[in-house]
Structure formats: C-alpha cells, structure tokens
Amino acid sequence: MGLFKRKESPVWWMSFSYNQRQYKKSTGVTDKKTAEKIYTVLKAKLALQQWIPDETEEKKDYIFHDLVEKYKPYSDSRHRSHSRQYSIIKLDRVFGRYRLTDITTEIVEKFQSDLLKEGLQAGGVNRQVSLLKSMFTKAYDWNMIPESHLKEVRKTKPLKGEKTRLRYLAVDECNRLIAECPDWLKTIVVFALNTGMRRGEILSLRWKDIDMKNGFILISNTNTKTGQKREIPMTETVKRLLLGMARPLNEKETVFKTPLRIRESFEKACKRAGIYDFRFHDLRHTFASQLVMSSVDIQTVSKLLGHTTLTMTLRYAHLSHSHLVQGIRTLDKVFNESQNNMIYPNFRTVVCASVD
C-alpha cells in the first residue's frame, strides 16, 4: 500500500489491497500533501467498511491517446471542420500520455491558463475545453472511464469575456472587394456572397451538384461541416455566373479552379480594397447579415446556412432590429430642425402650453 506516480503523469495514485486483491486508484491531485490526506481517508473508510472498491477500479487504464484513436474516426465521419481535426491533434499532443483518470479539473484549468499565456482568446480556449469535454463524454459512453470521472472533467467552467466575432461587409465594400479580385477569385467571392456556402463546400462543389433546370445547388452530406445535405436556391447572379462558365463533359469535375492559394490571394484583394480584419469565412457572415437586414426571417436564414440549431443563427437577430432603428433615424436627415420649424412654427410653444 502506498502513494506513487506513473510515468509522464503529474497525478498521485494510491495502491491498496482489499480481500486479498490489489487495487490502484487515482487521487486526482498533483499535490503530495493533499494526496496523503486523501489516501488516509481511503484507508480509514476501508477499515470501517464505509467504502468498498467496485469493478471500475479494475477497468483497463486507458491513456488519452487511446481515446483519440477511437474518437478521431467518429468525429471525422460527423464533422468536416479542419479546425476541429487540428484541435484533436493539439489535445493529443498535450494529454496524449496522460491516463484518462489522471486528467482532473485542476489539470484542465491549468490547460486553460497555458492557452491564455500562449495568446489564445477566451473564445478559443473555451472551444478547446468544450471539445475535451465532448471527448470525455464519448469516453464514458464507450466504457473507458467511470461516470464519476466524467463529472470531474465537466466541473471545469468556461472562461468569461468571450467575444463573438461577427464581421460583415456593406454592399459598397462587397463591390470594392470584387473589383480587386483576379478573375478566378472573383467568381468564387461572388458565389460565396450569394450562397453563404463555406469555403470547403465551394471548393469541393462538382458540376453534378448544379441543378440549372430547377435553379438549385445541391450540397451532399459528405461535403458539409455538419454531415447533413442541403439545397440552396440560386440567385440570378449565381445563374448568370454559372452559365458563363464552361461546363465540362465530366460532371464529376469541380466547378471552381484555384491556381493560387486562395487565402493569400483573398487577403491581398482585401488589402487593395482597403478592407481589414476580414476573412473568407466572413463572406458567409455577410450573406446572412444582408438577408436579415433585408427582413428575411431567422429560420429561413438558418436553413440556408445549414445550421443544425437556431442558436447559431441568432447571432444575426440583432441586425434586424438595429437595421430598422437605423432606417428610422434617417428621418432626422429628412426632417431636420429647420424643416420642423417651417412646418410646425408653434411646436415649442404648444408643447410648453400643454405642460402648463
């Protein structure tokens, strides 16, 4: 019986015997004095038979890398996001050799602090921890950890101060950007602004997915981030754009060709147009924002974007209200003070008289 540490793990473990069987159990802490107290309490409970080791103590000791090996195929078949795949790899680098039961609230909170020191914003940190929690939920579903440890990891609270980024362009800015794009990029940008499709969805789009007869773009479930197929009606601009392109005999060919790296070319076009802090994905925000400001209802926008829940689309809801307010405020330019005095010369007097 005693305390010990396992290789590449900062957590103290307890070794003890019960009914002539040897057990090992994590203390869940990295501080030795605290671990000693936990160990003392455990021995007392064993002596008084207030606690008896159950079969979970004998389950296989999985390390985090074991979970990654199982979780990655599961995630790849359901999520098409490259950033998610990268995040899984990053988590594996940090926790790969940790035993799953060694990853405690304390360790996850330290992970949060380390990410902040690296310069990651609260929102980015929260997404990393949210993914970690999702992975532990599956670990529990797959009988890799007991429920008690799932609760332990879930105790980690998200950081406050997360900023929701919503960057979109006004119509004149869109025109400026399009004017500065080379021809091959111009078609992609116009297409993105008129469909709200993600970059990956656009670049993987094939001619067989274009239904010119009925005026729809068909996005298969293998190309979407959420794994769900959807249909997007074509605007007249999109129809003209596609009709102006040479349609190959092989319908499996991709619609858009990118001779250069799209990110670098897009950033240069933005710079030439005098548009800053704007990413390709923000074209999707522009699509949604312009729809909402044109009084299209949130549910329709959500369906067009392919959101699985309305929550994601609600970030645009305030634009409808603010756009109406802005519209009313333009009346100040129409009915300025001089006009009011001409139309209602006794307005101030009448108001004062009514107060008296």
Give the domain CATH number at 85.
1.10.150
Q: What is the structure's pLDDT at 320?
A: 64
Residue-wise pLDDT for 293-337, tens only, equals 888 888 888 888 887 777 777 777 767 666 666 666 666 666 565
> Model confidence at 87, in pLDDT bands (50, 70, 90)?
confident
Do residues 286 and 188 share a domain?
yes
Task: Decide: helix, strand or coil at residue 30.
Answer: coil
| Any domain includes 163 | no
> Model confidence at 15, in pLDDT bands (50, 70, 90)?
confident
Q: Mean pLDDT, to the nearest integer, of 164-176?
A: 86
Do residues 289 and 318 share a domain?
yes
The average confidence (pLDDT) of the chain is 81
Q: What is the structure's pLDDT at 82?
A: 67
Do residues 217 and 291 share a domain?
yes
Both structure tokens of 176 = 């400026």
Q: What is the structure's pLDDT at 148?
A: 82
Cα separation, 270 vs 175, whole angstroms: 11
Range of lowest pLDDT (26-30, 234-238, 289-293): 26-30
Do residues 270 and 317 share a domain?
yes
| Any domain includes 110 | yes
Asked if residues 68 and 92 have their Cβ atoms less than 8 Å apart, the reply is yes
> Model confidence at 182, in pLDDT bands (50, 70, 90)?
very high
Do residues 222 and 146 share a domain?
no
Which of 154, 184, 203 is the C-terminal boundary of a domain?
A: 154
Cα separation, 228 vs 248, whole angstroms: 27
Residue-wise pLDDT for 29-62, tens only, equals 888 888 888 888 888 888 777 777 765 444 567 8
Residue-wise pLDDT for 238-277, tens only, equals 999 999 998 888 988 999 988 888 989 999 999 999 999 8
Q: Structurally, how many domains does the chain consist of?
A: 3
Q: Mean pLDDT, to the nearest integer, of 200-214?
A: 91
Q: pLDDT at residue 351 above 50?
A: no
Q: pLDDT at residue 80 above 90?
A: no
Q: What is the structure's pLDDT at 300?
A: 85
Q: What is the structure's pLDDT at 184?
A: 93
Do residues 176 and 88 share a domain?
no
Which of 58, 79, 97 is the C-terminal boundary of a domain?
A: 58
Residue 205, Cβ density class (10 Å: 0-12 exposed, 13-18 middle, ≥19 buried): buried
Is pLDDT larger for residue 350 or for residue 111? 111
Contacts of 294 (CB under 8 A, 6+ apart): none
Give the domain CATH number at 281.
1.10.443.10
Do residues 255 and 211 share a domain?
yes
Number of Cβ atoms within 10 Å of the Cβ of 42 = 18
Q: pLDDT at residue 163 above 70?
A: no
Q: What is the structure's pLDDT at 67?
A: 92
Asked if residues 286 and 189 have their Cβ atoms less than 8 Å apart, the reply is no
Q: Mean pLDDT, to the nearest integer, of 98-116?
A: 90
| Any domain includes 197 | yes
Per-residue burial over 100-113, b if 16 or more Cβ lie within 10 Å, else e, is: bbbbbbbbbeebbe
| Any domain includes 193 | yes
Query: Which of 229, 227, 192 has its CA nearest to residue 209?
Result: 229
| Any domain includes 342 | no
Do residues 105 and 216 share a domain?
no
Q: pLDDT at residue 151 above 60?
A: yes
Domain range for residue 83?
64-154
| Any domain includes 184 | yes
Do residues 311 and 185 share a domain?
yes
Query: Which of 100, 126, 99 has its CA nearest to residue 112?
Result: 126
Q: pLDDT at residue 78 above 80?
A: no
Range of lowest pLDDT (71-85, 88-102, 217-231): 217-231
Confidence (pTM): 0.56
Is pLDDT larger for residue 98 or for residue 352? 98
Q: Mean pLDDT, to the nearest integer, of 175-195?
A: 93
